[in-house]
Structures are given as structure tokens and as C-alpha cells.
Amino acid sequence: MPENSVRPFEIKVPDSVLTDLHERLERTRWATSVAGGDWKYGADITYIRSLCDYWKDQYDWRAQERLLNAYPQFLCEAGGVDLHFWHIRGKGANPFPLLLMHGWPGSAYEFFEMIEPLSETFDLVIPDLPGFGFGGIPKEAGWGAARVANAFHTLMTEKLGYERYGTQGGDWGAMISARLGACYPKQVAGIHINFVFLPTIPVSGLPPEDMRRVQEQIEFDKHEGAYHLVHETKPDSLTIGQSDSPAGLAAWITEKFRTWSDCGGEIERKFSKDALLTNLMFYWANNASASAARLYFESHADPALNFGAPDPKITVPTAVAHFPFDPFNNPRSWAEKHFNIVRWTDMPSGGHFPAMEEPELLARDVREFYETLR
């Protein structure tokens, strides 16, 4: 590793933060529920209450902290903020560098089930997005996805010394992957994404079955899109409450894990309480809820990201792992207008969080794609 301000790091949440968390959970004033409401009104109050009771009485953060600290992690300044990342050297011959990027409401923790299968083939770099998790929180405006992409490219090339690398991501990680491929095609060998975000809605020119998929997305956003409209316009009006109330944070994020995953309405079919709460700790422990939500505001306002009309076609080889229960996926015929898609895998199961839902399927697809590019 080059000499360049990369510093070893371990997660050590102060006891005072954990004590305060316990006291806040104990004092939660719960909303009243409606008979038969369940998840109809958003978060199921009964389930969130049981999750918070488990958080308060049974969840062992120190055990989870030990698991997170089992892999080498670092801090490194790039673009004006300290990036926090895991850096796991590959075990095989000539491992290829791979940047794994999460989105909202996830975290770098999403990838932990994939570390062992991927570290046979890759040098893995798994950062928290700036303003998420355990890295630095931006103190100035402008930290949208385009700036994040530039910071991650600096991390991979200038700080870690890689001349060529690949990416994998879903949600914001997929959008940052696309930005990296568009801006740095000489260094980015390829991008592997499990989320195809194309903001311009086609009104014609697609096969009938794909137009039906577009209409389904429009309907989905009509009923489920309030979260991103709040994040894009008035995030701090929401996140002051989430920064004060762990129950409020749990309700906002846990409902998305249920709605966007392949869980059939039963969230613990795919995510244990421990997994849900460890992901939540990436937002709570460092008081990162507000800075995470502002990524939407800053990206939506950033003309460099060009959300209204996608970048010109991205020429780097692109692989798409298409998980059938991810409600945000665009049809292939539309995606091919904007990406150089050389591999498209229709997966048998999985939703918006495949690194947690279907880690073996996702890891295999990543390995097979990059075997063609090494």
C-alpha cells in the first residue's frame, strides 16, 4: 500500500453511545396502531416495536463489532472527507481489484457474506459512502453521487495504487458505478450492477412487454416513492427525528427492507433481526442518518450527474444481474440504449438487496463476468 495517509482503523463505538441508545429505546413513545393495519400504513408498529425490544434487550453490538473488525479496515482522506473502507487482499494468484458499493438504506455491511467467496479472486475494497457508516461526515454541500465517484476513483488509483479496477453495486452503488465507467473508462475495466436506474421514462419505442414494465414502475413510484421525494427536497425535516429516535430510524429503514426484498411479506425470511440491526447501527452509531439522506438532495441538484437525461452511452463492458423482485429494475431493451451490456443474468430469486438476500448467486455472477475482463 502506498504511503499516502491511509491509516488503519477499527470500529469502537463508545459505551456512552450504546448506553444512550438503550435509554432512548426504553423511553420510546409508540404510536397507536390500527386493527389489521400491519404494513398497510407503512411500517408495522407491532413489528418495529418487537425489533426495538430485541435491540434493547438481546442484540449484542459488541459481538457484531468483532465480526466487522475481523477484516482490515482503514481511513483515508479523499476529496475533502475521510473515507472509511475495508481492504481485503485476494488469496489467489494475481487478484483483480474490485470496488463494492452499497446504497440507501443499506450499508457496507451488505457485502459481508460475499467477502469469503470473492476474496479468492479479488482484492476487495468496500467503502462506506461518504456520510454513511463510520467514515467522515461531509460538512459542506455538494456531496452528490458524482463527487462520491470522483472520491472513490481517487481512493482506488492515487491512494491504493491500482491502475485498473472493476466495480459492483446496487442502488446508489450502481449509479456511482455508472458514473465511474462514464468518467474513467481507461481505468475502469468494467461495471457489474444489480440495479439499472434510467430516469428518463420512455413513452414509446420499446417492446410491449417492456412498456408494461415501465408502467408498473410508474405505478410503484406513485405508491412507494414518497421516501425519495422527501430525501430530494426536505431531508433534514425528516432526519432530525431519525437522529433523535432509534425507533423512528428503524421504522423508516426496516419497512424498505421488507417492501423491496424477495421476502414474500415476511421480512425475517431474508433478514434476521441481528442483520437488520447491524445495518441500522451504520446509521445510528455515527449519527449518519441526515448525511446519508442528503445524498439524494445533492445528487438531484447536481447538473453533472444529469439525472434528467442519462449520460451518453457508457462504453465500458457492463454486466447486469437482474433480480426479479427488485421493484426498481428497468427492462433490458431500455438499458441497452445507455450501457454497453455484455452480460445480462436473469436471476431466479432475490430483490433489491441481493448481497444479503442471495450472496452466492451475486458472487458467482461477479466472478464469471470479471473472468472475461482480467
Q: Tell me: the pLDDT tens digits for 103-161?
A: 999 999 999 999 999 999 999 999 999 999 999 999 999 999 999 999 999 999 999 99
The model's pLDDT over 37-58, given as tens digits with 9 standing for 90+, comes to: 899 999 999 999 999 999 999 9
- Residue 338 CA to residue 173 CA, distance in Å, equals 17
Name the region of 63 (left: φ>0; alpha: ψ -120 to 50; beta: rest). Answer: alpha
Neighbouring C-beta atoms of residue 195, cutoff 10 Å: 24
Could you tell me if residue 228 is inside a domain? yes
What is the rounded average pLDDT of the residues 284-288? 98
- Residue 130 CA to residue 345 CA, distance in Å, equals 30
Residues forming beta bridges with residue 101, ordered by sequence position: 169
Catalytic residues: 171, 296, 352
- Residue 131 CA to residue 370 CA, distance in Å, equals 29
- Please, which pLDDT band fits residue 203 given cuts at 50, 70 and 90? low
- Residue 231 CA to residue 21 CA, distance in Å, equals 24
- Residues ≥6 apart with Cβ < 8 Å to 179: 145, 146, 149, 305, 311
Could you tell me if residue 275 is inside a domain? yes
Q: According to the model, what pLDDT value does residue 3 have?
A: 43
Question: What does the block give as the cell for 272?
Answer: 434476521
> Beta strands 314-322 and 188-193: pairing type?
parallel
The model's pLDDT over 224-280, given as tens digits with 9 standing for 90+, comes to: 999 999 999 999 999 999 999 999 999 999 999 999 999 999 999 999 999 999 999
Could you tell me if residue 31 is inside a domain? no
Three-state DSSP class for 320? strand
Could you tell me if residue 1 is inside a domain? no
- Residue 111 CA to residue 127 CA, distance in Å, equals 10
CATH number at residue 103: 3.40.50.1820
Could you tell me if residue 265 is inside a domain? yes
Could you tell me if residue 74 is inside a domain? yes
Could you tell me if residue 145 is inside a domain? yes
Provide the residue range defining the domain that includes 103: 7-26+37-371
Could you tell me if residue 286 is inside a domain? yes
Per the structure, the count of domains in the chain is 1
CA distances from 23 to 4, 52, 154, 367 (A): 41, 12, 41, 45
